[in-house]
Amino acid sequence: MKTFSAKAEEIERRWHIIDASDQILGDVAVAAANLLRGKGKPIFTPHVDCGDFVVIVNADKVRLSGAKEEQKIYSRFSGFMGGLKQESAAKLRSRAPERLIEHAVRGMIPHNRLGRSVFRKLKVYAGSEHPHEAQQATPYTL
């Protein structure tokens, strides 16, 4: 018996839509990361991008549990002296609500070339409208 290994050109990709309104941020991120990686498919191969496309809507209505809205800090560093910028989750939500979900999902996928190609299949929108109607995305329930 030979070990099966999926090839990139043989993979059939589907589109899923996740409604993040009143859902916990971590639950939405875990579901999206698993769909993006293709973990639930029987042909899953760790070194091949086997996943599907994921559209997340209502990113501005995602919930953070506990006191994370004010206590969770997102940091970035420019590399220059005094270049450390920090902001709370509440401030990031008011400025760019899509980044909350993107940051959480990015941490759950591989940190290499495969992860970058997987992350490109994630589409996050703050409102309920999205430009991917033609792809006939199937709703995914958490």
How confident is the model over 13-70, as pLDDT tens digits?
999 999 999 999 999 999 999 999 999 999 999 999 999 999 999 999 999 999 999 9
Distances (CA, A) of 19 to 109, 120, 124: 20, 19, 10
What SS3 state is found at 56? strand
Please list the residues that pair with 123 across neighbouring strands: 55
**Residues 101, 32: contact at Cβ < 8 Å?**
yes
**CATH number of the domain residue 120 falls in:** 3.90.1180.10
Q: Bridge-partner residues for 56, per DSSP?
A: 18, 124
In a domain? residue 40: yes
Q: Domain limits at 21? A: 12-64+97-139
Least confident range of 2-11, 82-91, 100-109? 2-11
In a domain, 54, yes or no: yes
Tokens of 132: 């991917």
What pLDDT is recorded for position 96? 96
pLDDT for residue 1 is more than 90: no
d(CA 97, CA 62): 9
Domain count, the chain: 1
- Give 132's pLDDT tier (boundaries 50, 70, 90): very high
pLDDT confidence tier of residue 4, bands split at 50, 70 and 90: confident
